A and B are shown apart, each in its own frame.
Chain A
Amino acid sequence: MIREWFKTGAPWVWLNAAAVSLSLIMVFGLLALIAVRGLGHFWPAQVAAIEYVEKGSKQTITVVGEMVEQQVLKPELAKAAGYTPEQAAAGLAQYLVKTGNRDISGLDFRWLLGKDMRQTSYPENLMVLERREWGNFYGYLESIKQSGEVVAQGEGAWADLAIRMQRTLDIFEQIKDIERGEIGTINYQLERLRLKQRKLELENKFDATAKQGLVLQKAELQKKYQALQANLTDLNQKIRRDSLVAKTSNGQQVEIALEKVVLYYQPNAMNVLQKTGHYFRKVWEFLSDDPREANTEGGVFPAIFGTVMMVMIMAVIVTPFGVIAAVYMREYAKQGTMTRIIRIAVNNLAGVPSIVYGVFGLGFFVYILGGNIDALFFPEAMPAPTFGTPGMLWASLTLALLTLPVVIVSTEEGLSRIPKSIREGSLALGATKAETLWRTVLPMASPAMMTGLILAVARAAGEVAPLMLVGVVKLAPTLPLDGNFPFMHLDRKFMHLGFHIYDVGFQSPNVEAARPLVYATALLLVMVIIGLNLFAVGIRNHLREKYRALEN
């Protein structure tokens, strides 16, 4: 009977169906995995206080931290770790606890054995501090100090902390504004003056008048700088005024300056509404802040900015060239073997590995083009390269080349869908070929161009391998766009979401602590790219509908 059944071919059909189901499960499972891990990261986890009997000393200690993971120790490993075979066979549950306080204990994470955990409680007054360095702090607030004097203690301390933190964060913002903004501008201008002087020297025009002018300008900048510096010193003194004293789980008193604290909260005391508020605050911080602690904490704003700007420059470059090439191949070139070969070649280029484009970009754009530009236009900056080093411009150009086939193919497809009758009608009414193209064909093909462009953007946004060679860095000190003339600094290196994932996930000193952030970054990137793709699909469908009507 089974043989009969196999003869009908039904089992094979079922197996084929299973292949589809499996693919779908993999696709959605993957998306769900990223989404759950990425979104879960921002939710304030309960912080547990666990009474734990230490294996060696048999003493009971209290471990405070977030439960991150749990697993059953494999019997083999348990035996290797010195447990009796019975214990091992029973399966030892173990828990990964994020204990923070890296400055005190040296470790962020700790594995606890389930059988040695005595009691787990969630005290409401447990406090979490996110700090600018050394990661999270977990402990109990004891008192607040101002200039070394205790000003609040016990119950009142938490309320007082809120007021003082507000003040400290305000000052911190001011300091950041001055350092990044005004002092940054002055440094930039000083550097430009230096280059100007060097240029004059190279051209042998550095005479007394020029020198005097430069000295005057320099002096003026120095004066401004000194004023700012004084202001800064003042603010720095102010910000150091307050500190808090906290008790860690083992009773140690720790004094933490408020300037080192980014965020403070008592997760166990929060209700759902407060947690939701906290959640969105964290999401906003993630989207809008600079990274901290070797990219393992804080936000990814520079990476978002770098990705978006790179993609935009690329789009500006790739669209006209891609469209012109497509128009040439479809409307002007004689259709024959040659165009067929070119078409195959262009199609195949879409399949050439992206790293090859990266190698080309590095060799041709950076070293040849960039090197020559430096020699011609920026001799004063030598030997420091200006464009002769990987940077924004070269990354955009490389990706433009990489995505050119996408735009060409898509535009060509759009052009080929436009019925001949439309062109002929236009020509019959006396329009020239250029007019026909410009007034009728191109507008009708514009959705196809858009589709191509969006697909190109989606591909470029997710591409990492070539960027590693032509301009991406793990931490860029300045954005490629700022208030200093000429505002757009295409020679600068930049950060990128995709590279951020690679870098934080694989090159970071503390991969375990950074992992949730990588999932969040991955989710962001996936959302951007899937969004763009869905948009492109929508446009394509819309376009098809439109021309189906025309054809009939």
Chain B
Amino acid sequence: MATSNLQISATYQKWRKIKDQLARYGVVAGGLGVIVAIVLIFFYLMYVVYPLFVSAEAHPVHQYQVPEASAGKTLFFTPEEQNEVAVRFTDQGKAVFFAVDSGVVLKTESIGVPVDVAITSFAVGSPSQGYVVYGLSNGGVIVVRHKYRITYPNDKRLITPQLEFPLGEQALQIDPEGKAIIDIAFRSNESGTTFVARTADNRVLLTNLFKEDSLFADEDSFERFDARLEVDAIDLEFLLLDKEQRNLYLATRDGHLSLFNISDKQHPVLVQHTQILNAGDQLTSLVFLTGELSLLAGDNNGLVSQWSLVRDATNHYSVQKLRAFKVSELPVVAIDAEQRRKGFIAVDAQGVAGIYHSTAERELLRMKVTSAVPKLLVMSPRANAFLLQDNLGMIHVWEVDNEHPEVSIKSIWQEVWYESYPQPDYIWQSSSSSNDFEPKYSLTPLVFGTLKAAFYAMMLAVPLAIMGAIYTAYFMAPGLRRVVKPSIEIMEALPTVILGFLAGLWLAPFVEEHLMSVFSILLVLPISVLLFAFAWQFLPKSIRLKVPDGYDAALLIPVILLATWFAYSVSAPLEDLMFNGELIVWFNNELGIGYDQRNSLVVGIAMGFAVIPTIFSITEDAIFSVPKHLSVGSLALGATPWQTMTKVVLLTASPGIFSAVMIGLGRAVGETMIVLMATGNTPVMDLSVFQGMRTLSANIAVEMPEAEVDSTHYRVLFLAALVLFAFTFVFNTLAELIRQRLREKYSSL
């Protein structure tokens, strides 16, 4: 058999060569593939996060003459949801529906103004509802709604525009004196409709139609309230009413703003009168930002400032300036807010338009839209297009690609003054039930929570693990060490979900009930160990020698157990004596420190527990691998074992210990389940040890499953993951590099 194997044919040799080559290429390809796959993680996270920081893009798509110019001048125009059909309301009381892409008229309807009456004013309701209102010269108003019915004949979308009269085709009389209405504001919701009108003789009237719920009547019945506002109305230019029909803003062209609280429709109250512009400036445009909690004021210097209702400490509301955007040096002609986000578009007198986001304080885009003077500007409902009409009667349609305006370096890392908040703050609040909610994507409280949790965990883990490792590696008997080291190391494999569960359901209630014991154990334990050690040397030699060298740790186990029991049993009477029986209550009353059951203390203990094995293991290895001749030399020169330890061994092992702490920190920063289960997961920024936190990782675990794919929220969560990734990667690499550097330095020893 052996002889036959020796006669190897040439083809077989070739085959072996080929196999060898194949194996080489296979392994190289496979190995590189795996490494590429690992690198892919980083790049994929980057790829998802990247669009957050991309600016918006816009380009012109259509341009045409105003459709059916004979129907009158445009007062307001807007496309519907799909950007297929748009409507134009004219000063002759006509609604012209036209195709957005060509300007072809689809339908023209008339509002039906009586023959002897003229249209004297016009206003738009909440943009999403599609209401507009005409004010008439006889003191009446007509409310009109433009609606779009979508059908799918032959599987193709067909949009049919309609005009409705929610309050009837007859004009509703606002002014009993029959004077012309020259300015009007209007809002409507489920509970009622409110009009605020300025008449030709400068009275400001408020009319509220309150919807009465009636069990029997099929038709809604209204109760009408009328009131007159005590205000000097001569220069009034802007009337704005918020959608809750609670706040009314009146502004003059020179920037005087009056805020009325009209919660009680019969008794409007003047809340504040303020100047929102510098002296001599002119207010050119005043509109609501979506949500109608803040105003955007454009002036003749090209500045758009955001003003919001802010509540101060005494529960007093006032309008305050949150921020301003410089659009250009020329007057701002028109501003229009997006309907679903806190963004807006503004255009100046030379046709330069800018797209901005208020929360992020970000200018996303600025471009010249027309060379003529812009007249009217409107953003489409989905904010993916805008329409502009200029003084030459041209309508320009632009497409906008602006997916993630909400995020900027500032909105993620710095204090942001959110609408209705008393001052700028760091807040994470990514979603809410309401549609026009201002998302708050500040990662700062999350990073703070992450570092806080890691800090408390390290407070427990670092001393215990390093001290334990010193003893195990240097003083402990080898026989004991062979048992102790794996026992502690095996804990590293313990699933953190178990630690989290115990921390949340067992430790947290325990600590809350026995807080005093926790503190007294902290105090009693080291003292009792020292006392025991001190007493030990006075014991007769016969007893002392029975315990072999390096078994002190075993000896201390009963001591620690006893001390713990002692601290535990003494703490209840002590608590009665010193803190009136309730330490937590005492903390709250005397020091004003609130107590949260799932707090940093619990997290610190649980996560410290999870980190101890990591730090212990690496530190122990580092100390144990210090060359013996170093320590032996030191001892031979007369140093005590402890001196040898601190002056020689620890110094030599310090790179290893440093890297152990770094790796432990990396683990504490990224730990998810423990913090998820053992904290309340509230993103607060509070250093107190009795308060919880929300960490980056727990935040991802909680919110990721609910985030809509490719939404801003989704990408911000990816950003959080990227931050975590970078954080731990940098820490670990740093640890590795420093360890190698220091190792080289000390290798001469």
State the A residues within 8 Å of B (CB): 2, 5, 8-28, 30, 33-34, 74-76, 320-322, 324-329, 331-333, 342, 344-349, 351-360, 362-364, 367, 401, 404-405, 408, 432-435, 437-438, 455, 458-459, 461-465, 468-469, 498-499, 501-502, 505-506, 511, 515, 518, 522, 525-526, 529-530, 532-534, 537
Contacts and interface: CB of A to CB of B under 8 A. Distances in A.
A114 B727 CA distance: 54
Interface in B465-520: 465, 467-468, 470-472, 475-476, 484, 486-488, 490-491, 493-498, 500-502, 504-506, 513
Contact of A362 (B488, B670, B704): B704
A396 B472 CA distance: 38
A17 B642 contact: no
A17 B697 contact: no
A312 to B, nearest CB: 18
B742 interface: no
Contact of B560 (A18, A27, A326, A458): A18
Nearest to B722: A356
B581 A502 contact: no
Interface in B637-673: 640-643, 645-646, 663, 666-667, 669-673
A346 B490 CA distance: 23
B526 A18 contact: yes
Contacts of B621: none
Interface stretch (B97-105, B375-383, B551-559): B551-559
Interface string B507-539: 000000100000000000110011011100100
B595 interface: no
B670 A530 contact: no
Interface stretch (B14-22, B318-326, B355-363, B395-403): B14-22
9 contacts: A9-B643, A16-B467, A17-B552, A18-B553, A22-B560, A324-B26, A360-B45, A465-B701, A526-B498
Given A24-B488, A26-B609, A465 B672 contact: yes
Contact of A76 (B465, B468, B497, B582): B582
Interface of B is mostly: helix
A348 B730 CA distance: 9
Top 4 A-B pairs, shortest CB-CB distance: A9-B642, A328-B31, A353-B670, A462-B495
A321 B560 CA distance: 48
Interface size class of B (residues with CB under 8 A): 35 or more
Interface of B: 16-17, 19-20, 22-24, 26-28, 30-35, 37-41, 44-45, 48, 463-465, 467-468, 470-472, 475-476, 484, 486-488, 490-491, 493-498, 500-502, 504-506, 513, 525-526, 529-530, 532-534, 537, 552-557, 559-561, 576, 580-582, 585, 609, 612, 616, 640-643, 645-646, 663, 666-667, 669-673, 676-677, 697, 700-701, 704-705, 709, 717-718, 721, 724-725, 728-729, 731-733, 736
Contacts of B728: 348, 351-353
Highest count of chain B CB atoms <10 Å: which of A22, A76, A349, A459: A22
Contact of A342 (B35, B554, B640): B35
B718 A321 contact: no
Interface centre among B471, B561, B666 (most CB of A within 10 A): B471
Given A33-B502, A432-B17, A19 B721 contact: no
Nearest to B730: A348
A105 B305 CA distance: 62
Contacts of B643: 9
Contacts of A333: 28, 31
B475 A359 contact: no
A469 B704 contact: yes
Contacts of B26: 324
The majority secondary structure among interface residues of chain A is helix
Contacts of B705: 468-469
A525 B464 CA distance: 27
Contact of B553 (A20, A74, A537): A20
A12 B642 contact: yes
A502 B677 contact: yes
A355 B20 contact: no
Given A25-B557, A401-B37, A529 B495 contact: yes
A533 B27 contact: no
A358 B696 CA distance: 13
Contact of A501 (B497, B582, B666, B732): B497
B672 A529 contact: no
Residue among B468, B495, B576, B646 having the largest count of chain A Cβ atoms under 10 Å:
B495
A464 B526 CA distance: 37
A503 to B, nearest CB: 10
A363 to B, nearest CB: 6
Contact of B27 (A13, A331, A525): A331
Contact of B556 (A18, A348, A404, A525): A18
Contact of A14 (B487, B497, B502, B529): B529
Contacts of B718: 359, 363
Contacts of B736: 344, 347-348
B38 A16 contact: no
Contacts of B45: 356, 359-360, 363
B501 to A, nearest CB: 5
B493 A329 contact: no
Contacts of B16: 432, 435
B495 A526 contact: yes
B9 to A, nearest CB: 15
